Chains A and B, each alone.
Chain A
Amino acid sequence: MDQVNKLIERLGGVYLLPVAVSLIALVLIGVPSSWVTLTVAGLAMGMMIFLMASGLSLVFGLMDVLNFGHSAFVSFGAFIAASVLAWLGGWLGSDSIILNSMAILAAFIAAFQFGLAAGWFFETVVIKPVYHDHLRQILITMGALIVAEQMILAIWGGAPMSVPRPSFLEGAFLIGDVAIEIYRVYALILGGLVYIALYLTLNRTRIGLLIRAGVENREMVEALGFRIDRLFVGVFMAGSALAAMGGVMWAGYETLITPALGAEMMIVVFIVVIIGGLGSIEGTLLGAIMVGLVANYVGFLAPKLALASNMILMMVILLWRPNGLKPAVK
């Protein structure tokens, strides 16, 4: 067994897992064109979930804070984007790709800024009083999620809201008999860019070094002369803004959103963070991709199992690696 583990590690370790799952799915699906479509869909879904989950992973890793209200930022991001895109309907409906892109950029900027401001408020008012108390963290952040949902109901109403998409993101590429939705490719590219930016920030900057060190041992970071509580506010704000961006992406993907979006995504986001390993951006990406791929493959192969697929995936991975696929070193 040791030798098998060593061989797997040498070949790429847990990074091989999505490849292995994809290959097994190829055999089970049997039709290469369907498999490509499902794989791209899974990867795109994974990237969007990664955006939503990455902040939560760092927040938990850095300060041991269980924030069940994290997905409220996803909801608000989605609804703010829907409103901005509706308001800029003229730009969105124009034939100019530049105007289309400006409308999307405006939606992202609005959601991102909201995420930063709301993240600061949430950390200062809701989280700070309950540091070091997991039970109260769960209660108060779940309460905050309910309040956020009610606020969305009050502002945007209870009816599902449609999210307009620009025409250049509609439709699909046809490569042979393989159809790949343009929006999925867009989600894949954007998610990839955010991951690269996060990776470079964490691995090439002093602030990133402090965050990585803080995830491992925050007490020691303070003993070296750094105020981890101040760093945490920044990480919380960035994490919330990323979740809001994830909400924008998800809104464009679903094109119809409801106030229950946050509560629905909360479970998936937590599964991703747990599967990936707390406090690790690489782990979160890996977990998100696994969830995206498995959800799409199972949805195709055994639709009745689709809802349970994430839970089953989490159980299997935790039985194999109790700390997740790629946890931060503690």
Chain B
Amino acid sequence: MTLLSLNSMKTNIGQYSVLHDISINVPEGGVFVLLGRNGAGKTTTLRSIMGLWKPSPGSVTFRGQDITNLHTADIARLGIAFVPENMGIFGGLTIEENLILATKTGQFDQTRLDRVWELFPAMKTFWTKQAWSLSGGQKQMLAVSRAIIEQRDLILIDEPTKGLAPSIIDAMADAFREISETTTILLVEQNFQFAKSLGRDMAVIDDGRIAHAGTMADFVADKELQESLLSLSA
């Protein structure tokens, strides 16, 4: 069943046309990976879904509902979480405050909080620390924790492995695998090893257009396609 559909989506930022024609269907469950070179339009795609940049023309539907012209806050309240490339954490707030802001009622559901602590023990260890004092990996953990502290239907995650140490990337992959059992993840990633270890379905964006879409297994098997779309050597 399709959870999210992008239909001939075009997005302009100022006078520049960044997305020319993006059409993808993200099925419910698992990890859908968006790949592409730098500047291809991956981040713009996620921001357009969240309503941070408005696509025009084209449409975005979530569970069959047209969300193209909804305000970002209303899109989030439908059950879509966003982990931006810069992580978007609030450095002057403690970890507890960062997480409580992401709850609907201002109260923690203890079961979900325990799950966050289990996935990312550092969140419990540094509970009362201000977020600016965390390491890069811990900040990314906090950003992901914020996305899962409430039950969401879809999490948009933008390049979560950027600048992280290999050991942290492994931990992040394990966490994403577990999260994707209950929540669909739309993952933008340049780290192909990381992406292929998680993705079930995928698409490649090139110059603001969908250049390829299919299953990750088929794409991994086609070295020639990888080389042509991502410049990955076999």
Interface residues of A (CB under 8 A from B): 206, 209-210, 212-213, 216-217, 219-228, 328-330
B76–A225 touching, CB < 8 Å: yes
Contacts of B106 in A (CB 8 A): 206
Interface residues of B (CB under 8 A from A): 50, 52, 71-73, 76-77, 81-82, 84, 88-93, 97, 100-102, 104, 106, 130, 132, 146
B93–A212 touching, CB < 8 Å: yes
Quick one: given A213-B101, A329-B91, are A222 and B73 in contact (CB under 8 Å)? yes
The count of A-to-B residue pairs whose CB atoms sit within 8 angstroms is 62
Contacts of A329 in B (CB 8 A): 90-92, 130, 132
A328–B73 touching, CB < 8 Å: no
A220–B132 touching, CB < 8 Å: no
Interchain CA distance A225-B71 in the complex, whole Å? 9
B92–A212 touching, CB < 8 Å: yes
Sort A-B residue pairs by CB-CB distance and give the 5 closest, nearest first.
A329-B92, A220-B88, A225-B76, A329-B91, A222-B72
The residue of chain B having its C-beta at the shortest distance from the C-beta of A205 within the complex is B106
Interchain CA distance A18-B104 in the complex, whole Å? 42
Starting from the known contacts A216-B92, A225-B104, A329-B90, 20 additional A-B residue pairs (CB-CB under 8 Å) come to: A206-B100, A209-B93, A213-B93, A213-B97, A217-B88, A217-B90, A220-B90, A221-B101, A222-B52, A222-B72, A223-B50, A223-B72, A223-B76, A223-B82, A223-B88, A224-B73, A224-B76, A224-B101, A224-B146, A227-B73
Q: How far is the CB of A222 from chain B (nearest CB, A)?
A: 4
Interchain CA distance A210-B81 in the complex, whole Å? 17
B52–A223 touching, CB < 8 Å: yes
B90–A222 touching, CB < 8 Å: no
- 17 interchain pairs, CB-CB under 8 A: A206-B106, A209-B93, A209-B97, A210-B101, A212-B92, A222-B52, A222-B73, A222-B76, A223-B50, A223-B73, A224-B76, A225-B76, A226-B73, A227-B71, A329-B90, A329-B92, A330-B91
Interchain CA distance A203-B73 in the complex, whole Å? 23
Contacts of B81 in A (CB 8 A): 223
Interchain CA distance A328-B92 in the complex, whole Å? 7
Contacts of A223 in B (CB 8 A): 50, 52, 72-73, 76, 81-82, 84, 88
Contacts of B77 in A (CB 8 A): 225
Interchain CA distance A206-B96 in the complex, whole Å? 12
Contacts of B82 in A (CB 8 A): 223
